[in-house]
Amino acid sequence: MTSCPFHVQPARPAQHLPPLLDPALRMRPVGEPLPAPLRMHGGPLAQTFSRWLRQRDDTAHASEKAALTRALQALSGDEVRSHARRQAEIAMTGGWPHWSWAVPAATVASLLGLPMTDVDAQRRLHGALRAMAAGLSATADQDAVTAGGAATTTLLKALDRAERRSPDAPLQSTLLHRAAPSRWTDRATFAANRLALIWQSHEAGAALLGHALLEMRRTRITPSRDDLLRIARDGGAVRNTRRFDADGAVVVVPLAGTEHSFGDGPHRCPGQSLTLGALHAALEWLAEKSDWQIPEPVSPLSLPNMDIPQFPESPRTPLSPQSPHEERHP
């Protein structure tokens, strides 16, 4: 029997896509590209935020994201490893409160050619990223947005300088070759997303590295890349993300406990491999230093979507020569 062409089929129930794959769920509410504090106070932080791939669902997103992803994929694992080890070594001169905070972002900055040659340079980078974080807070006042804007301008200028002086720095070079400014809507969008690589590595990287340190302190075993993925999956990195539906209502999407701790769909993290390589290399460096002992953590910095472990200053205590830590890493 053939079906009548004029018969209207009853509507099928809407297909339920996982939220991260659902094009109806957006990164920002419709017509609101900026959160309220940035909308009210404007400035360089607001301009940069609105250009970030992380905040956009426009038609240019896919091609710009693809170029950025190719640039990150072209990074050599050896370069990532050697820059992470160097930054881990420099960061240890700043002590435990500094180490896990500094290493992820300083490694990305160094791969981009910023001169991360001493702990003061790392501290300046960290200070600028904390100022950006304060300016991006939902409760930021005018002073915080202004200070975040000044920090943004400083980092954008430093990256422009690095492009002129160190175009062969590993990540600067892969960006210039595979995600060149001409592939982006405009030069400012390229520059904003180059800075986003450091920004995106900052809190999520510190959360994951901090949780890896907690595990290493407990087990005395250096987490592998797979262990780092498991730690992230178990809630040791970004625990959830948000989307907005067509009415502007927030949809909270869990990531912890899923196979998508680095996201999924069009906004999936392009920095996963860089993160796992850099953090594993930094932890390996640490494991080789037999005279460091990871101290008991103090209260973490609790953000809505992640906890960032924090560590106190502690004296350099030699590890026992019998410890399994040393057996694993002679």
The residues that touch ligand HEM, with contacts defined as CB under 6 A, are 20, 53-54, 65, 108, 196-197, 200-201, 204-205, 208, 232, 237-238, 241, 255, 261-263, 267, 269-271, 274-275
Q: Report how far residue 222's alpha carbon sits from residue 319's, in angstroms, rounded to the nearest whole number.
A: 14
Q: Report how far residue 159's alpha carbon sits from residue 11's, in angstroms, rounded to the nearest whole number.
A: 53
Backbone angles phi, psi at 301, to 5 degrees: -80, 115
Residue of minimal Cβ distance to ligand HEM = 271
Structure tokens at 330: 């002679």
Toward ligand HEM, which CB reaches closer, 65 or 85?
A: 65
Q: Look-up: residue for tokens 């026992």? A: 320
Toward ligand HEM, which CB reaches closer, 172 or 261?
A: 261
CB of 190 to ligand HEM, least distance (A): 13
CB of 266 to ligand HEM, least distance (A): 6
Query: Which positions ≥6 away from 206 have C-beta within 8 Å?
Result: 100, 101, 104, 105, 308
Q: Report how far residue 225's alpha carbon sits from residue 296's, in angstroms, rounded to the nearest whole number.
A: 23
Toward ligand HEM, which CB reaches closer, 146 or 241?
A: 241
Structure tokens at 185: 């809507």
Q: In a 10 Å sphere around its CB, with 0-12 CB exposed, 13-18 middle and 19+ buried, how is residue 29 labelled?
A: middle
CB of 56 to ligand HEM, least distance (A): 7
Toward ligand HEM, which CB reaches closer, 177 or 316?
A: 177
CB of 210 to ligand HEM, least distance (A): 11
CB of 34 to ligand HEM, least distance (A): 16
Toward ligand HEM, which CB reaches closer, 222 or 241?
A: 241
Query: Which positions ≥6 away from 169 have C-beta within 8 Å?
Result: 110, 111, 112, 113, 162
The one-character DSSP state at 181 is G
Structure tokens at 208: 């994951």
Toward ligand HEM, which CB reaches closer, 91 or 269?
A: 269
CB of 197 to ligand HEM, least distance (A): 4
Q: How many CA atoms lie within 13 A of 223 on its CB side?
A: 27
CB of 256 to ligand HEM, least distance (A): 10
Toward ligand HEM, which CB reaches closer, 94 or 271?
A: 271
